[in-house]
Structure 1
Amino acid sequence: MGRYVVRRLLQAIPVFLGATLLIFLMMYSLPGDPVRALWGDQSVDPAQIAALKKDLGLDLPLWQQYLNYLFGLFQGDFGTQIASQRPVADVIAEALPVTIRLTLFAFTFTVLAGISLGIVAGLWADRLLDRGMLFFTLLLISVPSFVLGYTAQFWLAFKFQLLTPTVQDSEAFGDLLMPAIVLGSLSLAYVVRLTRTSVVENLRSDYIRTAIAKGLPRRRVIGVHLMRNSLIPVVTFLGTDLGALLGGAVITEGIFNVQGVGNLVYEALNRREGSTVVGIVTLLVILYLAISLIVDLLYAVLDPRIRYV
């Protein structure tokens, strides 16, 4: 197990460097000058712009800027936000807890509702309930997230007044409930369909027939033998989806006025704040790689036949 973990950590190094380099090049290839944009339409002395660029290191060649960013990153320095002249690490530290809270709410909703509905659909495959579930999940997959967000706002907030239309307090569960449901709806649909398919396939397996022939209680057959094998592909998806939820909250946070990382990325893109976007993406890449490793290690817990060497 230890060798496997070390090998995966070594494999993560080129992935990390490649991802950060790609987003770094993409951000600095965008048109516009973020330093000049600080003054808007006002006239400004070019010497001031040049001086600020020199202070921020933006006058250096692109390859040197990237190397400086990497060296600073290993010291915990994510760069400096151009607009506020604050460290990007401080800006992220304020917004990240909000996004993590929203993501965990959405992830919990996806896991509990998705796996439960998928098990029910799989146990009653090809019946009316199963067909209704497949239609419902197909509808969720087909509807864009921003359409679902505005629809949820109209019905749940304005029409029936059950929830607040926008987030007033990022620490209040009631305010984050609706954006969490919207954020996790697409993942919910995939989890339901994946769980349903996995349950149906494993119900036809020989080990399930053997367990039933031995006279084991139905609860034990389903809860122990069926679920442990059926959840392996679901855990794979959920592990990668957790990282996707963290990075995919831009639209949802914008609709519901959630002051998290997604909203921070949106504002930084409008201002061409390359350092802020690169810093956030770097952190998300690190989280994604860590989650991917944890998911692989969970395989051995769900299936004792799996051994890592």
Structure 2
Amino acid sequence: MGYAENEITPFLKARRAALDAAALGLPDGIARRRVRGLRREEVAQLAGVSVDYYTRIEQGRARAVSDAVVDAIAGALRLTSDEHTFLRNITLARRRPDAAADAAACDVGSGPRPRVRPQIRQLLDAMDDTVPALVYGPGTDLLAWNEIARRVWFDFDALPEAELNGARLIFLHPDAKALHLDWEREAEDAVASLRAHIGRRQDEPRAQRVICDLRGQSEEFRRLWEAHAVRERSQGTKRVLNPQVGELELTYEAFSLPNDPGQRLCTYTAPKGSETEKRLRALADRVGAGAF
């Protein structure tokens, strides 16, 4: 049993607690509202299902929940597209959470790391001058990189294979907070992405292994994990404080590799003529000159 099978109860509780009843036009009633967010009865009313049925869904006791009901609950809870997908996936697991499930998920082996095709490695090398690029696999495993990416972030070649993982580097590497100028946002995105990943692929052993390890080793990861955020980032910006050339503001794009399930190519660029582009070129020149 994986983590996704135990997620429905805390996820739905967190999402209804995050809503403002007054903003949705729901009254407090005669008695003062005693819970934060929406009550189960209110979610059931908004979703058009019975209170008993919604309660069974939230407690993980309902089997074969239809797509229509999932959609109705997603609408009632104002879920984002990523959260809606996550709810549908974990509902399909249709297993009641129990005390042994969490431990069982942590007993799973990590499994083999996927291989990156030679053609993708050639693509990484072709971008090497000023376009840092990485390939991520299941559970944010870092599978491949080009030389300038290694100079922007960490010396990946020198790290043990077990540490070559995006989430592990953010939460456990001693230089992560100095390197990532928006560390808290990076950390939130990493956790939300991991949760989205296990929603899609509930039996993915590498993702489960990473989650287990980080829950045991990082208090900050545990805090963010308990927030039950679900979000998949495919584009955005990152600010990095590189010890050689200073601050870099990079725009990233993530591309799923259709012939390599679970793998994503991430590229990082800067506008032509920008200070970041100049610093990337300076970094590339240092690499070419063997200045490291």
TM-score range, shorter chain: under 0.3
Bigger Rg, which one: 1
Greater helix content:
1
**TM-score scaled by length of structure 2:** 0.28
User: Which one has a larger percent strand, Structure 1 or Structure 2?
Assistant: 2
TM-score by length of 1: 0.27
